[in-house]
Structure 1
Amino acid sequence: MNHRSTAFAAAYALMRVASDHSDHWGQSDFDAQCKGATDKAPVEYRHEDGATVTVGTEGGRRACLHHVLQVTATQGLALVAGTRVLGIRLHPGAVAVALAVSGLTHYAADRRVPQGLLQRLAKATGKERFYALADFGLNGSYCLDQSWHHSWETLAALLVSLKADQR
């Protein structure tokens, strides 16, 4: 296996696990509930102390940005630390591009304003019924969301591996 193959495999695994951790363990309940809020579709968020707040477009954007910055920072830390341990040297510019691709596409999917990007893509590709599925232990919109993230992280890992060196 050449160094690019090794760098790709490592970068993908590290970015994927960091994103998965961030989406499920690292994301705050507030961000998870409110990141798609808009003025036309506000979210009523109830804090643990019982206080309720109405979140609109600006709050939804901030919640989504906070979540995506947390995901991207976690991916960056995992990518840099993990490849360092493995003896793979990544080009800083390639890392920045990979993290930007992952972060921007994560925001685009997670903002999910009414008739959001993934819902429109599902409709355009004949997956609208699957997107709406919430039965049999499955949630179609969640599955498509995760597939979207996996796909873009694959591209990001490919980009970062193009300028990788082995030590």
Structure 2
Amino acid sequence: MTAAFAAVFAALYAAHQVADHWVQTQHQADHKGRPGWPGRAACAAHVATYTLTAVVALALLAAVTGWRPDPGALLTGLAVSAVTHYIADRRSPLFRLALVLGSGQFWTLGAPRPDRDDNPSLGTGAYALDQSWHVGWLFVAALIIA
């Protein structure tokens, strides 16, 4: 069980990195946090490709190692990953959580300032909080799946 958990977590983490940074389209990245149905649709499309990437990674894990997941646990774990990814990528729920937990100032760290020609980068507090949220939930998903 320990080896299965480690392998599942590694596969989900690798899939996360690929799906969030290579598979996600620019349109999805630019629109997934916007209000209304266009934002929801862009986020749902990203989560669909994100989840498909996780399925491919887990299928490769099973093919190479002989690991056989319980179908119910697999579906539940993937659902946890997908739902929590959607929540974070809609932006406002995670921002509100950061405010409640006293991390609102950290959220804005490194973000472009109004009326400045600041260079946006991946080194922002919002990005760090987003990625740590995702990895934490990947851990939970891996526990469920394994």
The answer to whether TM tops 0.5 is: yes
**Which structure would you say has the larger Rg?**
1
1:37 is the counterpart of 2:13: no
Deviation at 1:10, TM superposition (A): 0.6
> Could you say which residue in structure 2 is the equivalent of 1:125?
101
Q: CA deviation at 1:117?
A: 1.4
TM-score, length of structure 1 as denominator length = 0.78
The aligned residue for residue 147 of structure 1 is 132
Residue matched to 2:19: 22
Q: Distance in 2 between matches of 1:108 and 1:98?
A: 16
1:53-72 equivalent positions in 2, closer than 5 A: 57-72=36-51
- CA shift at 1:121, angstroms? 1.4
Give a deviation string over 1:97-150, Cα, whole Å, max 9, x none: 0100000000001012xxx11111111212111111016972000010000000
Q: Distance in 2 between matches of 1:16 and 1:122?
A: 23
Match of 2:85 in 1: 106
Query: 1:51 corresponds to which residue?
Result: none
Would you say the 8 A contact 1:10–1:83 is kept in 2?
no
Q: List 4+ stretches of structure 1 deviating above 6 A.
A: none
* Paired amino acid for 2:135: H
Q: Secondary structure of 1:36's match?
A: coil
Task: State how many pairs are aligned.
Answer: 137
Query: Gaps (5+ residues) in structure 1?
Result: 39-56, 162-167
**What is the Cα deviation at residue 90 of structure 1?**
0.7
% identical aligned pairs:
43
- Counterpart selection for 1:157 from 117, 142, 146: 142
* In 2, Cα distance between equivalents of 1:26 and 1:141: 21
Counterpart position of 2:116: none
User: Given the alignment, which residue of 5, 16, 28 partners 1:8?
Assistant: 5
CA distance in 1, matches of 2:7, 2:90: 28
Residue 54 of structure 1 corresponds to none
Amino acid paired to 2:124: N
Give the TM-score taking structure 2 as reference length.
Answer: 0.89
Matches of 2:20 and 2:122 in 1, distance apart?
Answer: 19
Cα distance, 1:155–1:131 mapped onto 2, change above 3 Å: same
Residue 13 of structure 1 and its aligned partner are, at CA, apart by: 0.6
Letter in 2 for 1:69: A
Q: Which runs of 5+ in 2 are unaligned?
A: 112-120
